[in-house]
């Protein structure tokens, strides 16, 4: 099985660096198969396991139903885990899952443009919105292996490839009217609801790493369509009609016109030459298949081979029919998920027994349709565009003549168009003149926009070398034009693509930490300060943190630096779930570092990791999550004990007292939780005695250390703690150990 983790340089041995890639099948340049042919001709795995057994990014945190499609429940109240894992045990413990999550987040976007009859058919199956809502969950993971060819012609099969599906009308509305709500606020609201679900007595505790993966997935999907983000521009539009549509051929033409020049036209910054794919939905319960088949043959004559006949049932399933629940969407923006939860609450569909059921045959037909769409149309279209843009635009900038012409256009106006030359003199030296500062974007036919689409297409097809080199070509143009969002995105994608590239190992000459540090700093500064897009700034910071923290000690230092910088910039609100999760990741960056001469030698960052764990434990406790606070506090004690002088924590009176007080508070909270879960009789009496002893011990400890206790403030986060809240130890007394023996750096 091939997954993004297989390309990880951390998983490869030195002797395997020059091993050849076994290419099982390369796509033929010509394809004569009919679009309605069986998908068995496509490359499949030799022994494909059932979807229920397939591992996913959220497999360790999200519960699955017993349906064959392996439904993913995005409700945090259904997280199934009995123990809380530590993110600090191994720096690369969860790296494969996080890397796969990042790779799958940047998938091609397919837009749905459906006729009214198709939306009616979807609602007859219990779907609340439209046809796009019906097919969207099935596109997130395409069945079987998908073969992708890179820019040098080498083919690679992926078994975790997927596409994001959205309704085209919603995309155009979002582009015309930017959202009025802050996505960061919506994200915090969503995470607060997740914490409330976990505070329910009937819920089992779940590891904090599950919350973080959920949080990261929402950050990666938390931005609407925008000019600089070519990942959010559709690569294909699926035009859908049904067998009940009157005048179907004319309806298809009208829908096409709406995508080209009508109400569903994308803004001028998006490429209008995306693929059109035509789907005819046959209603098995109401229409004659012979007439539908004749109509489908007519469609192929008019619109070519990019057509598919999808056979669905509109009736209500009975007890004897084979049914399965509709999968939940794994990739949702925070605002979309909150809207979905609000709809469920309004309709009274809160109980999970009210989940939507569809025929198993319909689910199989939708999967086959999406596989044919992706494998036979979307990926070849993207490969052709990459080859075309690489030859016509990118290659001209890579040679000596291309560099000379670029410099001439930039400084002297030579070699550019009349409009560009005239604009260059007005906008100042260094500007290409293609950027419209008033509208805030490049038009889709300018070289800068084409190169951005080229890099995005290469990134989505996992050709990270081409994506990084393309963004490297155009980064300086964005800076010279003062297109700050474009420049921020170029620095972000160039850095992420280089870190995801399996050929860019830690020992590689191209792996220069100073370069990555500079690109991340410029991206974060442009997003947060110049563009004031804090959601994208948070995304860039999290991507850099996760991909750098496993690249060695120096890279982990940079990763921790940007985590702390995100807190200083206010990208996460103090006291929020995002703040505590980020504190844990910072602790993970410090905790995984190895010293110079042994496990307890100089050069480790265990005391820094322990301190950030104490901060996280304090914040978890304020959120009412005693189990998570207990785990972080235990981790902090283990890290302090693992330092060169394990008993040195006793010399820090304030810190030691604070940790003991926090431990007492956690014990009381956990004891109350056990009683709420149904303890009775002798067990309840014994638990009450333990709680009474805990209160007495805590009171005695407070009287003993009363003279040593004072109010502290979290200078690392800038948040002043309330007088009644547990105090977080950051300002500590001087270490009684000598400087030569201190292992804190």
pTM: 0.77
Task: Considering only residues 491 and 30, tell me which one the structure prediction assigns the higher pLDDT.
Answer: 491
Q: Is residue 255 within a helix (H) or strand (E), and if so which, with residue range?
A: helix 248-260
pLDDT of res. 399: 61
Alpha helices (H) along 72-221? 95-105, 116-124, 131-135, 168-176, 183-198, 208-220
> What gap in Å lies between CA 98 and CA 57, rounded to an integer?
8
DSSP class of residue 719? B
pLDDT averaged over the chain?
A: 75
pLDDT band at 432 (very low <50, low <70, confident <90, very high): low
Mean pLDDT of 47-51: 35
Tell me the longest C-alpha to C-alpha distance in the chain.
90
Phi, psi of 292 (to 5 degrees): -65, -40
Q: Is residue 236 within a helix (H) or strand (E), and if so which, with residue range?
A: strand 236-242
Q: Of 406, 470, 404, 394, which Cα lies nearest the Cα of 432?
A: 406
In the chain, what is the straight-line distance between the N-terminal and C-terminal CA atoms, in Å? 43
Mean pLDDT of 257-278: 90
Q: Are 250 and 619 in contact (CB under 8 A)?
A: no
Structure tokens at 477: 């143009």
Structure tokens at 139: 């596109």
Phi, psi of 547 (to 5 degrees): -85, -20
Task: Considering only residues 261 and 66, tell me which one the structure prediction assigns the higher pLDDT.
Answer: 261
> Which residue ranges make up each domain of the chain?
98-177+224-338+357-384
Percent of the chain at pLDDT exceeding 70: 67
- Least confidently predicted of 193-207, 433-447, 611-625, 632-646: 193-207
DSSP class of residue 72? B
pLDDT beyond 50 at 23: no
**Beta strand pairing status for 109-114 and 236-242?**
parallel
Q: Are 576 and 188 in contact (CB under 8 A)?
A: yes
**3-state secondary structure at position 599:** coil
Task: Considering only residues 674 and 702, tell me which one the structure prediction assigns the higher pLDDT.
Answer: 674
Q: How far is CA 208 from the centre of its chain?
A: 17
> What gap in Å lies between CA 632 and CA 565, rounded to an integer?
22
Q: What residues does 186 pair with on adjacent strands?
A: none
pLDDT in tens, 493-504: 999 999 998 776
Task: Considering only residues 207 and 455, tell me which one the structure prediction assigns the higher pLDDT.
Answer: 455
Structure tokens at 485: 């969002």
Q: What residues does 279 pair with on adjacent strands?
A: 240, 308
pLDDT beyond 70 at 91: no
pLDDT in tens, 311-328: 999 888 887 889 999 998
pLDDT in tens, 234-253: 999 999 999 999 999 999 99
> What gap in Å lies between CA 246 and CA 134, rounded to an integer?
22
CATH topology of domain 98-177+224-338+357-384: Rossmann fold (3.40.50)
């Amino acid at each position: 099985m091939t997954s993004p983790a297989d390309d990880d340089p951390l998983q490869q041995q030195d002797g395997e660096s020059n091993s050849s890639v076994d290419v099982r099948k390369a796509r033929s340049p010509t394809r004569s198969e009919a679009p309605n042919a069986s998908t068995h001709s496509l490359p499949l795995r030799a022994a494909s396991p059932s979807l229920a057994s397939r591992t996913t990014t959220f497999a360790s945190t999200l519960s699955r139903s017993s349906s064959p499609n392996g439904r993913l429940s995005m409700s945090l109240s259904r997280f199934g885990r009995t123990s809380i894992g530590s993110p600090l045990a191994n720096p690369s413990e969860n790296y494969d899952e996080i890397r796969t999550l990042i790779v799958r987040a940047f998938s091609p976007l397919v837009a749905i443009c459906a006729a009214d009859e198709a939306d009616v058919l979807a609602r007859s199956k219990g779907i609340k919105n439209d046809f796009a809502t019906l097919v969207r969950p099935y596109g997130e993971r395409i069945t079987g292996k998908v073969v992708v060819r890179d820019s040098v012609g080498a083919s690679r099969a992926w078994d975790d490839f997927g596409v994001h599906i959205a309704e085209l009308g919603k995309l155009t509305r979002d582009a015309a009217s930017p959202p009025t709500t802050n996505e960061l606020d919506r994200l915090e609201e969503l995470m607060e609801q997740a914490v409330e679900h976990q505070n329910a007595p009937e819920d089992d505790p779940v590891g904090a790493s599950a919350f973080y993966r959920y949080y990261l997935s929402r950050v990666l999907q938390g931005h609407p369509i925008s000019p600089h983000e070519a990942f959010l521009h559709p690569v294909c539009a699926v035009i859908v009609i049904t067998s009940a549509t009157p005048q179907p051929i004319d309806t298809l033409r009208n829908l096409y016109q709406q995508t080209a020049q009508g109400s569903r036209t994308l803004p001028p910054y998006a490429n209008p030459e995306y693929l059109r794919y035509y789907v005819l939905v046959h209603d098995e319960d109401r229409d004659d298949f012979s007439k539908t088949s004749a109509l489908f043959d007519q469609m192929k004559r008019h619109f070519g081979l990019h057509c598919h006949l999808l056979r669905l049932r509109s009736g209500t399933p009975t007890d004897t029919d084979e049914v399965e629940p509709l999968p939940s969407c794994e990739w949702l923006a925070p605002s979309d998920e909150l809207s979905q939860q609000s709809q469920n609450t309004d309709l009274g569909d809160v109980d999970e027994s009210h989940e939507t059921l569809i025929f198993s045959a319909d689910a199989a037909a939708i999967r086959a349709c999406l596989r044919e769409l992706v494998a036979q149309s979307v990926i070849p279209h993207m490969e052709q565009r990459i080859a075309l843009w690489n030859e016509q635009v990118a290659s001209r900038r890579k040679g000596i003549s291309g560099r000379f012409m670029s410099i001439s256009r930039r400084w002297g106006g030579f070699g550019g168009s009349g409009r560009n030359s005239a604009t260059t003199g007005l906008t100042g030296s260094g500007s290409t003149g293609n950027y419209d500062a008033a509208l805030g974007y490049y038009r889709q036919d300018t070289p800068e926009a084409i190169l951005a689409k080229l890099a995005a297409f290469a990134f989505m097809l996992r050709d990270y070398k081409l994506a990084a080199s393309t963004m490297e070509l155009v980064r300086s143009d964005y800076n010279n034009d003062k297109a700050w969002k474009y420049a921020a995105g170029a620095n972000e994608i160039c850095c992420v693509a280089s870190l995801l590239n399996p050929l860019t190992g830690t020992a590689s000459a191209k792996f220069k930490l100073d370069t990555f540090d500079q690109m991340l700093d410029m991206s974060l500064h442009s997003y947060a300060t110049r563009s004031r897009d804090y959601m994208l700034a948070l995304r860039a910071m999290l991507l850099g943190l996760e991909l750098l923290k496993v690249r060695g000690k120096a890279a982990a230092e940079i990763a921790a630096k940007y985590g702390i910088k995100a807190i200083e910039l206010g990208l996460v609100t103090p006291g929020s779930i995002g703040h505590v999760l980020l504190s844990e990741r910072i602790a993970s960056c410090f905790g995984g570092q190895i010293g110079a001469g042994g496990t307890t030698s100089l050069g480790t960052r265990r005391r820094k990791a322990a301190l950030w764990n104490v901060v996280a434990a304090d914040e978890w406790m304020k959120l009412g999550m005693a189990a998570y606070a207990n785990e972080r506090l235990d981790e902090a004690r283990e890290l302090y004990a693992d330092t060169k002088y394990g008993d040195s924590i006793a010399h820090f009176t304030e810190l030691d007292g604070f940790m003991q007080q926090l431990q007492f508070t956690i014990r009381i909270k956990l004891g109350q939780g056990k009683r709420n879960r149904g303890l009775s009789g002798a067990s309840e009496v014994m638990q009450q005695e333990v709680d009474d002893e805990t209160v007495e011990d805590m009171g005695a400890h407070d009287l003993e250390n009363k003279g040593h206790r004072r109010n502290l403030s979290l200078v690392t986060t800038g948040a002043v703690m309330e007088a009644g809240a547990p105090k977080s130890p950051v300002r500590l007394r001087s270490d009684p150990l000598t400087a030569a023996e201190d292992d804190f750096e």
